[in-house]
Structure 1
Amino acid sequence: MEKEVRIYIRIQKSRKENWKKICSEKQISLSSLIIHSVEKRILDDERRKVLNFIEEQDNIFVRIETNINQLARHVNTMKAITPSDVDYFNRQLNHIIELKKEQNSIFKKIYSMIGK
């Protein structure tokens, strides 16, 4: 493993305080902010947000898939589908579509950050 070295830079005290405030809000270290910004890499707080978003979406998709499977079982058992069941099914599908749009938007942002 490569040995870490210390770099000293001079900046105005007010600028340092602003940077520390940013770090506090993002819950990251000043070193992480500087290194990731210079290297144009995704910040740790953004990485956490992405992982949380993916986990939340996964849970939502599992719940919706379960509901759709239950509806399909009900329809197969009854050999018919009511208008309210069709409406419920369509709402679930629309929810998935909206979540996928949001997910794709976030992934595009991630790829653009990683690609730099």
Structure 2
Amino acid sequence: MRIMDALELQDKLIIIYKGMQQRRSFEKFFGKDKSLDNDFLDRLIEMDADDLIRDAIVELEDLIRRDSYSLEECSDPFDSIVNREALEYKCMRYGIRGPEGIKLEDIECVLSRV
């Protein structure tokens, strides 16, 4: 896998992960809003895919090795990776309005190059 492909896949997985977290928080406080429906994110939430996505993000970091981290510096490398850049910046980089705009095709496109 090329480093650029791994980086793009990691960024999109971070967008998805944060989108799932935002949807859960929104629904907890305000209830379900039909105007924010996203079948892809809804299916991932139903499947409880959080752990799988977290593991994939950390594994991709090992391939990218942009910022080497050690357990002494960072007790949870996942938080360091996910919070390295603002979500809005990642979305703008790939032309996505926000986490609610992510679709399965966004990930399929990257995976097809792998």
TM range (shorter): 0.3 to 0.5
- TM-score normalized with structure 1 length: 0.36
Higher helix fraction (1 or 2): 1
- TM-score normalized with structure 2 length: 0.37
Report 1 or 2 for greater relative contact order, CA contacts < 8 Å, sequence distance ≥ 6.
2
Larger Rg: 1
